[in-house]
């Protein structure tokens, strides 16, 4: 699993009071976003956001944290 930004880039950007997003891409072709969320969640807190097209149709991206 490759996290982005790299550790070096993260450390260059990190300052007190500055949030630096860290992310990776995962292919879940046999799971739904909900099952992936349950598999990846570790602890009492987490979130699942899914992109939507026009408020009616699911789009391409799911964001888990």
Q: What is the mean pLDDT of each run of 10 residues along the chain (65 residues)?
A: 92 93 81 84 87 73 84
The dihedral region occupied by 54, where left means phi > 0, alpha psi between -120 and 50, and beta the remainder, is left
What gap in Å lies between CA 60 and CA 50, rounded to an integer?
8
Q: What is the pLDDT, as a whole number, of residue 58?
A: 64
User: pTM here?
Assistant: 0.56
Give me the sign of the Cα torsion angle 13, 15, 3, 58: negative
Tell me the backbone φ, ψ of residue 57, rounded to 5 degrees. Answer: -120, 135
Tell me the backbone φ, ψ of residue 34, rounded to 5 degrees. Answer: -70, -45
């Amino acid at each position: 699993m490759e996290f982005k930004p790299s550790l070096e880039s993260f450390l260059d950007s990190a300052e007190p009071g500055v949030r630096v997003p860290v992310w990776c891409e995962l292919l879940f072709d046999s799971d739904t976003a909900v099952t992936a969320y349950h598999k990846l969640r570790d602890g009492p807190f987490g979130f699942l956001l899914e992109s939507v097209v026009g408020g009616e149709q699911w789009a391409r991206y799911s964001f888990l944290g």
